[in-house]
């Protein structure tokens, strides 16, 4: 227990309370009220205090934050000693200094937070009043023009707000946000394409395999590739019935006999299955695919390349936006080209990714691929009769014209 400290009291002195506009004669008749901020969770607001002194003639307000606060409270600590006349012991309490400003009812009832803004507004109004009374004709014309422009600007803002509210009521906020996201994503499709070497001599070198999976990442997929190669026909049928990874199933059903080519396809099939699952997620976490044996380096690659970091509710989330889905589609298509001798099935891919066929065709055109449809064959199997669209990489790459202008309407005669 700390030892008690006894202070020797000197001769009794009395200091007058100093305020901003002079001294208060009857300080004992002032009614003091001390307020504190109720937002205890905010580290910047929980230490805010306000002191109010009310008298019969005038009220004073002081605070330890804002424009009128004293900076000395941050530089040192102040203490107040309270003397007990019976025991002649003095208790020392922590204190703060407040700059008490007078508040005139109806004129200067200004909160400390808005003090600077209101002070500037009052100054502008005073200058305008002086111009109206003593200004030149040129100054008066400028003042009238500025006030008319201010009224016109407020009318325009009201009209725009009214029109925006009517559009939101008609279409809905979510539909408008989706339209904006789609429009922005169309311009970002070319930016999210895999690295392209249009001057390459071989189709395999246009979208190089190392740009999709570098040697370190490819080596980390060895164990996962072995698991894909050991899948039983029953497990493949289960994946087929699920209907979400048909591209992977097609690749695993036609594995090559060569050992190196077989190993490469199984590793690529596992990475392709991860890309397809990422495209169907709204957000992914660090625990993504840990249960299926996804290597750590592949997790970091998926988080870094195919997600956008956002801050929500005090946490950083990795969101899969519309633009990132287009990027996943482009990398998946480039990977399928290497797995299928520079030919990929766009119909199966856009179904697995959960995007529209038009969006998938747009990505293939941005990559300069040649689009085609196989010849129709009469058969009993519905899958063979399904009209699938194929994309092939043929040199030189195809340059598609983007139709940006609308067709002109014919004039009625």
pLDDT of residue 332: 92
Tell me what pLDDT residue 189 has: 54
User: From CA 261, how far away is CA 242, in angstroms rounded?
Assistant: 27
**Mean pLDDT over the full length of the chain:** 78
7 CB neighbour count, 10 Å cutoff: 12
Q: Could you give the CA distance from residue 351 to residue 357 in angstroms, rounded to a whole number?
A: 8
Calculate ∠ Cα 150-152-157, nearest 5°: 95
What one-character-per-residue DSSP string does 162-205 give?
HHHHHHHHHH-HHHHHHHHHHHHHHHHTGGGSPP--TT-SSGGG
Query: Can you spell out the DSSP letters for 256-312?
Result: -SSHHHHHHHHHHHHHHHHHHHHHT-SEE-TTTTTTTT--HHHHHHHHHHS-EEEEE
How sure is the predictor about 256, in pLDDT bands with cuts at 50, 70 and 90? Answer: confident
pLDDT, position 282: 86
CA–CA dist 228, 213 (Å, integer) = 17
pLDDT at 130: 86
Least confident of 52-56, 223-227, 273-277: 52-56
Rounded Cα distance between 157 and 164, Å, is 10
Per-residue pLDDT averaged across 33-62, rounded?
83
Q: What is the per-residue pLDDT for 92?
A: 87
SS3 for 117? helix
pLDDT of residue 124: 82
Between the ranges 29-38, 114-123, 311-320, 346-355, where is the mean pLDDT highest?
346-355
User: Residue 337's pLDDT band (boundaries 50, 70, 90)?
Assistant: very high
pLDDT score, position 291: 61
The pLDDT of residue 17 is above 50: no
Residue 14: predicted pLDDT: 42
More confidently predicted of 337 and 149: 337
Calculate mean pLDDT across residues 74-83.
Answer: 82
Question: Could you give the C-alpha distances from 119 to 131, 146, 170, 284, in angstroms and in order?
Answer: 19, 20, 43, 50
For tokens 């077989």, name the residue: 262
Lowest mean pLDDT among 165-174, 261-270, 400-409: 400-409
Helix H, strand E, coil C: the string for 340-408 is CCCEEEHHHHHHHHCCCHHHHHHHHHHCCCEEECCCCCCCCCHHHHCCCCEEECCCCCCCCCCCCCCCC
How high is the pLDDT of residue 3? 45
Angle among Cα 388, 392, 394 to the nearest 5 degrees reads: 155
- What's this model's pTM, rounded to 2 decimal places? 0.53
Please state the rounded mean pLDDT for residues 292-309: 85
User: What is the distance between the alpha carbons of residues 49 and 54, in angstroms, rounded to a whole number?
Assistant: 17
What number is the average pLDDT over the span 242-264?
86
Q: Name the residue with higher pLDDT: 353 or 104.
A: 353
Q: How many CA atoms lie within 13 A of 306 on its CB side?
A: 27
3-state secondary structure of 322: helix
Which is more confident, 97 or 202? 202
**Mean pLDDT along residues 262-280:** 90
361-397 pLDDT, tens digit each: 999 998 889 888 876 655 544 444 457 788 888 888 8
- Rounded distance between C-alpha atoms, residue 122 and residue 31, angstroms: 30
Query: What pLDDT sits at residue 144?
Result: 86
pLDDT of residue 331: 93
Omega before 396 within 30 of 0, i.e. cis: yes
Pairing between β-strand 31-36 and β-strand 49-54 as defined by DSSP bridges: antiparallel
Residue 337: CB partners within 8 Å, gap ≥ 6? 203, 207, 343, 344, 391, 393
pLDDT band at 120 (very low <50, low <70, confident <90, very high): confident
- The dihedrals phi and psi of 314, each to the nearest 5 degrees, come to 80, 10
Over residues 26-34, mean pLDDT: 80
C-alpha–C-alpha distance, residues 374 and 377, integer Å: 9
Residue-wise pLDDT tens digits, 175-234: 666 666 655 555 555 567 888 888 888 989 999 999 999 999 999 998 888 888 888 888
Mean pLDDT of 340-365: 89
pLDDT > 80? residue 266: yes
Please say if the pLDDT value at position 128 is more than 70.
yes
pLDDT (mean) for 34-39: 86
User: Which is nearest to 371 in space by CA: 398, 331, 395, 335?
Assistant: 398
Structure tokens, 315: 């946490």
Torsion angle, alpha carbons of 67, 70, 75, 79, to 10: -140
Greater model confidence, 188 or 87:
87
* Tens digit of each residue's pLDDT (9 = 90 or more) over 318-333: 888 888 888 999 999 9
Q: How confident is the model at residue 405 (pLDDT cuts 50, 70, 90)?
A: very low
């Amino acid at each position: 227990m700390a030892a008690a400290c006894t202070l020797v009291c000197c001769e009794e002195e009395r200091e007058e309370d100093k305020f901003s506009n002079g001294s208060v004669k009857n300080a004992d008749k002032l009614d003091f009220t001390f307020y504190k901020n109720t937002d205890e969770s905010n580290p910047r607001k929980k230490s805010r205090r306000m002191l109010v002194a009310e008298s019969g003639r005038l009220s004073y307000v002081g605070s330890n934050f804002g424009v009128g606060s004293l900076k000395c409270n941050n530089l040192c600590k102040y203490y107040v000693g309270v003397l007990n006349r019976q025991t002649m012991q003095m208790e020392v309490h922590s204190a703060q200094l407040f700059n008490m400003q007078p508040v005139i009812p109806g004129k200067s009832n200004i909160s400390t937070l808005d003090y600077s803004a209101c002070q500037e507004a009052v100054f502008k109004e005073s200058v305008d009043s002086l111009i109206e009374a003593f200004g030149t004709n040129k100054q008066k014309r400028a003042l009238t023009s500025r006030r008319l422009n201010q009224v016109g600007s407020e009318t325009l803002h009201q009209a725009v707000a009214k029109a925006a509210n009517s559009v939101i009521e008609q279409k809905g906020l979510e539909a408008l946000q989706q339209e904006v996201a789609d429009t922005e994503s169309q311009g970002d499709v070319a930016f999210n394409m895999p690295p392209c070497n249009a001057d390459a001599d071989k189709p395999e070198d246009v979208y190089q395999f190392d740009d999709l999976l570098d040697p370190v990442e490819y080596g980390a997929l060895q164990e996962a590739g072995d698991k894909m190669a050991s899948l039983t026909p029953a497990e493949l049928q289960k994946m087929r019935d699920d209907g979400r990874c048909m591209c992977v199933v097609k690749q695993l059903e036609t594995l090559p006999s060569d050992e190196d080519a077989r190993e490469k396809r199984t590793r690529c099939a596992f990475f392709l299955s991860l890309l397809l699952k990422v495209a169907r997620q709204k957000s992914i976490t660090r625990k993504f695919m840990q249960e299926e044996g996804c290597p750590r380096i592949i997790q970091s690659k998926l988080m870094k390349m195919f997600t956008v970091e956002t801050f929500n509710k005090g946490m950083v989330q990795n969101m899969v936006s519309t633009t990132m889905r287009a990027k996943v589609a482009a990398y998946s298509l480039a990977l399928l080209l290497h797995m299928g001798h520079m030919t990929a099935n766009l119909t199966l891919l856009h179904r697995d990714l959960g995007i529209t066929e038009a969006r998938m065709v747009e990505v293939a055109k941005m990559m300069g691929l040649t689009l085609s449809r196989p010849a129709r064959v009469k058969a009993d199997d519905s899958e063979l009769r399904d009209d699938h669209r194929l994309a092939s990489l043929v040199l030189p790459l195809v340059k598609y014209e983007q139709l940006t202008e609308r067709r002109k309407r014919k004039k009625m005669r």
